[in-house]
Amino acid sequence: MSSKVELPPAHKRSLSVVARSIEDSLNDIATRLQGNLADSLLHRIEHSYTDQERQQIFKAVEGVREALVELILEFDLDTSTVFESQILSAHCSHIWTLLQDSRSDKLKSYGEVPEESRASIDTAIDKMLDRMGQLQNVSAKHEQ
């Protein structure tokens, strides 16, 4: 491996962001191929690979991961620390926004919502928002 290469701060930041994104994608690939996903009701992954192909993919992912380590070390890329609470908060905010945008009055941009469906939609959304509030309360206790 070559010695560290000094980069201007903007280039170093950019490469660090790219490296983190690549690492996240590699982790996602590995997790999905291992089949360690939580129960999913609306997103089902059909197996496409044989066990032998799956092992080849894992080996290739590890090869990419090794090259990523070399990139990180060669350019002395910055690592970042993210707390679980930050991740949870970001996901909760995203889900909250999705739910708010799914209320019957917001769905009008997709066409008129039938009158008889509005209350059912809003009741279901309110129930989800209530549960999200419970999740946010649990996570907020950690931050206190």
Tens place of pLDDT per residue across the chain (144 aa): 557 889 999 999 999 999 999 999 999 999 888 875 666 778 777 888 999 999 999 999 999 999 999 999 999 999 889 898 899 999 999 999 999 999 999 998 899 999 999 999 999 999 999 999 999 988 777 665
Handedness of CA 60, 69, 38, 103 (dihedral sign): negative
pLDDT value, residue 103: 96
Do 39 and 68 belong to one domain? yes
Do 13 and 60 belong to one domain? yes
Residue 97 structural domain: 84-143
Q: Is residue 2 part of a domain?
A: no
Do 67 and 90 belong to one domain? no
Question: How far is C-alpha 129 from the chain's CA centre?
Answer: 20
Residues contacting residue 91 through CB under 8 Å, at least 6 positions apart: none
Do 14 and 47 belong to one domain? yes
pLDDT value, residue 41: 78
Structurally, the chain folds into a number of domains equal to: 2
Last residue of a domain, one of 56, 74, 92: 74
pLDDT value, residue 2: 56
Q: Is residue 59 part of a domain?
A: yes
Do 66 and 92 belong to one domain? no
| Amino acid identity at 80 | S
What region does 57 belong to: left with phi over 0, alpha with psi -120 to 50, or beta? alpha
| Amino acid identity at 122 | D
Do 61 and 91 belong to one domain? no
pLDDT value, residue 107: 93
What SS3 class is residue 21? Answer: helix
Cross-strand bridge partners of residue 86:
none
Q: Is residue 4 part of a domain?
A: no
pLDDT value, residue 143: 62
Do 47 and 102 belong to one domain? no
pLDDT value, residue 37: 60
Last residue of a domain, one of 19, 52, 74: 74
Q: Is residue 1 part of a domain?
A: no
pLDDT value, residue 57: 96
Do 28 and 57 belong to one domain? yes
